[in-house]
Structure formats: C-alpha cells, structure tokens
Amino acid sequence: MNTPPSSPVVPVPKRASWSGQLAFILAAAASAIGLGNLWRFPYLAAQYGGGTFIVVYLALVVTLGFTLMVTEIAIGRMTQQSQLTAYSKLHRGFGPLGLLATIIPVVIVPYYCVIGGWVLKYFWTYAKMVANPSANPFADAGGFFGGFISAPFAPFGYGLVFILVCALVIALGVKHGIEKSNLVLMPLLFVMAIGISIYVMCLPGSGEGIKYYLVPNMDALRGANGSFSVAQLARTVLGAMGQMFYSLSLAMGIMITYGSYMRKGDSIEKSVRRIEIFDTLIAIVAGMMIIPVVYMFAMKTGTPVHDAMNAGPGLMFITLPKVFADFGRTGALVGAVFFLLVAFAALTSAISLYEACVASVCDLLGMKRRNATFFMFFVIAFLSIFSALGFGVWGKMTPFGMDFLTFFDFVTNSVLMPIVAIVTCVFVGWVIKPKAIEDEILKGEPKFAARGLYNVMVKYVAPVLIAAVLVSEICRGLGLFGWKI
C-alpha cells in the first residue's frame, strides 16, 4: 500500500530574545526615557507645585503605571507576538485593537524623529561653537529656532539622518542592535545627566531653583480664593497621568513587542519595578538640570517664573539656549553636552517605536527583519515630511487649527493611546480575566506580590482614570470648556 507523500514542514522562525533580564530592563527603560522626561516632566512639575506634582506622579507610576506595563509585557511574552497580532491570538474578536495599537507608533515615529532632527541640529551648532565660541547664533534663540523649523529642507534633512540611525540599529536585530546600543547609550545618558545636574547645583544662586522644584508647594492646589481646590487637584492628577503615559511608553505597542522577546524564566514584576525606578530617576534628574537654571534666568531677566517654565517645547529650544548664553565661554560646551544627552534619550525612544512597527510587519507578513526595516524606513521618511514642513512651506495647512506635528501628537497621545489602554484593561479585566496575566507572571517568579492591587486596578480603577485622561486631553487639545492642563 502506497502512502501519500507528507507535506513539507515549513520551519517557524525562532523569535528573537533578550540575552537576559538586565538587557530587557535596559531596553524598556531606554524606551521610557525620552523627550517626555527631559522637557515635559520638568515644566509640568514646575507648573503644578514642584514636589507636590512629583509625589502625585510617583503614586500613579507605582499603581496605574505598574498595572498597564505589567499587562502589556505579559501579553507580549504570553503570545510571542507584537501588538498587531497579539490581541487576536488571545481573542479573535479583539484583533482590531491590535491594528489600532499599531497605528500609534506608525504615526508617532515620523514626528518624533523630526524633533530628534531638531536636537541633532542644536547639538551640531553647539559643537561648532565649542571650536569658535564667538560665533553664537543663539543670541536670538527664538529667531534661530523659528528660522530653522520653517526652512524648506533642513528640518526634513536632519530628521532623515535621525531615522537612518534608528534603522541601522533595528536592522542589526534585538541582541546585536537594540541591546548593544542600549548598553552604550544608557550609561552615557546617566553619566551626562548626573554630571550636568551636579554642575547646575554648584552654580551660585541655584538653591532657590532647586527648592522651587523639589519642595511641595501646596499653593498649586488652591483656587483663586486661596482655599483648597478640587479642580486644581484634578488638573494635577490628570497632568501627572498624561505625563505617565508619555513617559512610560504605555499603549504604544512597545512593551508588548519588547515583552515578546522576554525569556519565560525572567520576573515581569521585578523588571517593571526597576524600569519605573530608572524612568522616574531620570525624570527627576532632568528637572535638576533644567528647573534651577531656568528659575535663575527668570529672576535675572524679570520674567514671571510661571511663564518661563510653561514654555512647552520652547523651554528646550529657546529658553535653555538663552540660559546657556549666560554661561559665557562654557555655555557652548554645556549646550553641546546637554543636546547630546537629549539626542541619546530621543534615539533610544525612537528605536523602540521603530521596532514596534518593524516587529508588526514581520509578524503579520512573515517578512525578514532587514526587509521590514527597509520598508518602514520609507514609510516613516514619507510621513515625516508633513511634520518637517508643517512650520514652513506647509504652515498654512492646520488640521483642527494645529500644525501637523501638534495634530499627530494630539491624535496619538491624547486620543488613541488612552482608548487603547481603556480597551486593553476591559479586555484583560473582563474577557480573558486577570488570572491569565497572573499565570504568565508566575512563570518567572514564585508569587505575584501585587496580585490584589493589580486585579482591582485593571478591572475597576484603571479604566475610569484613563477615561478621565481621555476626556480631559480632548477638552484641552480642542479648547473645549476652557479646560487647560
């Protein structure tokens, strides 16, 4: 009796993995430590009472942030998939959630790399000033910044260089590219951040700025009549929650993708706690670099401190260059080191966002990593044109009254990310149940110490808090009801 020939077995490619738990922690922390830590955290802290904001932020990180990060990492390790296909692998009906979660990094990477290009431009300008301090284009910092971002090609060109660097790291793979780059960039970032902070703390008169930054100021929680204001407390909490999303790389698909490379025997709970420590430490150190010198500058120039601190991106690209100019000949060197630090922080975050896109293409289409990296390079480069030219030749095109970069940031950070986080909590809390996450966590440790906290947060508290962030961010972004954060 003849037996039919067996069908050829198509080998399933083995999924890449981190070399160890430390490598995963460094990669996840590198993703979390980005531009949000270096400019957004300091000015929010200054705006909402210094130490008061920091205490609120820490409380949210160890509860809400912990819950969301544990969930995403566990989903990634459980499914061994990126965010695009992970949800559908757990439940077919939630496949669209994976698509929505993938749109977020695809939209963020282009404009993030454009901002990374701005940082490269500033670093290069300061590096040239080190050789020739007399040539100071930052004498008119606002004019320099406005002239650069409105130029017809330069913003796109610098952004393209930034995208290319990210692509080269991604193409080398998880261990040889992402992991090794973090082993170099993260120590350098920490050393430079601490070095600049020490320099700032040693400046004459910096003590008042440090006090303004770190000491809790309860006036930030008072209303116009001087009494405690629930509305002000709500603004502080919502501002801290919005920063937490941005800072911890939540609901971007990054932690699911990085979790899919995590070894089964490694501890998810301990890893998340260490990532939180790294991220929060850098955020606080960033404030030590920036807030005291901006405070001193405001006092010297007679600028209201609140106005100086509440400059948004201008705090980094306009206010700080003015401050560095006051440092005399050392200003160029301090500026070069500072913007090199910012470039490293932006690069580590951009790499993680890029990787979430590449992993999704690989998982969905079975494409090889280098081909997927090459494909996404052109997608990201094309999409970056809108943000790069949105302040110049395309400046008259303003969706919802916003420039392209602000619009993309609003859609992703203020709308899509909270939606993905809410639906993820509902999915875990009520569909696959928290026990599925707990079982995955227990594969790497004998017990889940925060099990009770996790169950309550993911089922009840987190969806409500995130919904409040969604509503407040939409009101803020669209200028509804006079709401501001």
Domain of residue 310 covers 21-478
**What is the H or E stretch that residue 341 is in?**
helix 330-365
Residue percentage of the chain with pLDDT more than 90 = 68
Alpha-carbon distance of 484 to 5, in angstroms, equals 69
- Residue pair 101/251 in contact (Cβ under 8 Å)? The answer is yes
Residue where the block lists tokens 């997927």: 372
Provide the 10 A C-beta neighbour count for residue 225: 7
Determine the pLDDT at residue 32.
87
- Summarised one tens digit per residue, pLDDT across range 107-117 is 999 999 999 99
Alpha-carbon distance of 80 to 16, in angstroms, equals 10
Comparing 76-80, 148-152, 285-289, which segment has the lowest mean pLDDT? 285-289
Alpha-carbon distance of 227 to 281, in angstroms, equals 32
**Mean predicted confidence (pLDDT) in 449-475:** 94
Alpha-carbon distance of 399 to 386, in angstroms, equals 12
Residue 13 is assigned to a structural domain of this protein: no
Residue 329 is assigned to a structural domain of this protein: yes
Determine the pLDDT at residue 9.
39
Question: How many domains would you assign to the chain?
Answer: 1
Question: Among candidates 212, 193, 245, 165, which has minimal Cα distance to 419?
Answer: 245
> Residue 344 contacts by C-beta under 8 Å, 6 or more apart in sequence?
185, 188, 189, 192
For the cut 80, the answer to whether the pLDDT of residue 126 exceeds it is yes
Round to the nearest angstrom and report the end-to-end CA distance of the chain. 78
Name the residue type at position 192.
M
Sign of the Cα pseudo-torsion (159, 147, 291, 217, in order): negative
Residue 55 is assigned to a structural domain of this protein: yes
Query: Nearest 5 degrees, angle CA 294-CA 212-CA 234?
Result: 105
- Summarised one tens digit per residue, pLDDT across range 31-75 is 988 887 887 888 788 888 888 999 999 999 999 999 999 999 999
Band (483; pLDDT cuts 50, 70, 90):
low
Residue where the block lists tokens 């990296």: 373
Residue where the block lists tokens 């081909």: 371
Comparing 74-78, 302-306, 384-388, which segment has the lowest mean pLDDT? 302-306
Residue where the block lists tokens 């970032």: 189
Residue 159 is assigned to a structural domain of this protein: yes
Residue 69 is assigned to a structural domain of this protein: yes
Provide the 10 A C-beta neighbour count for residue 155: 26
- Summarised one tens digit per residue, pLDDT across range 203-245 is 888 999 999 889 888 877 887 777 888 888 888 898 898 888 8
Tokens of 465: 């808090």
Mean pLDDT of the chain: 90
- Summarised one tens digit per residue, pLDDT across range 233-278 is 888 898 898 888 888 889 999 999 999 999 999 999 999 999 999 9
Query: Nearest 5 degrees, angle CA 170-CA 173-CA 179?
Result: 90
**Mean predicted confidence (pLDDT) in 278-295:** 90
Determine the pLDDT at residue 312.
66
DSSP, collapsed to helix, strand or coil, labels residue 50 as strand
Helices 330-365 and 83-90: crossing angle in degrees, nearest 10, is 40
For the cut 80, the answer to whether the pLDDT of residue 166 exceeds it is yes
Residue where the block lists tokens 């309860």: 218
Determine the pLDDT at residue 311.
64
Residue percentage of the chain with pLDDT more than 70 = 96
State the Cα torsion 321-325-330-334 to the nearest 10°.
-10
Determine the pLDDT at residue 368.
94
For the cut 60, the answer to whether the pLDDT of residue 441 exceeds it is yes
Bridge partners (DSSP) of residue 222 are 228
Tokens of 89: 């692998």
- Residue pair 220/52 in contact (Cβ under 8 Å)? The answer is yes
Residue 8 is assigned to a structural domain of this protein: no
Determine the pLDDT at residue 6.
44
Higher pLDDT, 29 or 232: 29
**Mean predicted confidence (pLDDT) in 198-207:** 91
- CATH code, 156: 1.20.1740
Residue 4 is assigned to a structural domain of this protein: no
Higher pLDDT, 347 or 41: 347
Residue 415 is assigned to a structural domain of this protein: yes
Determine the pLDDT at residue 371.
96
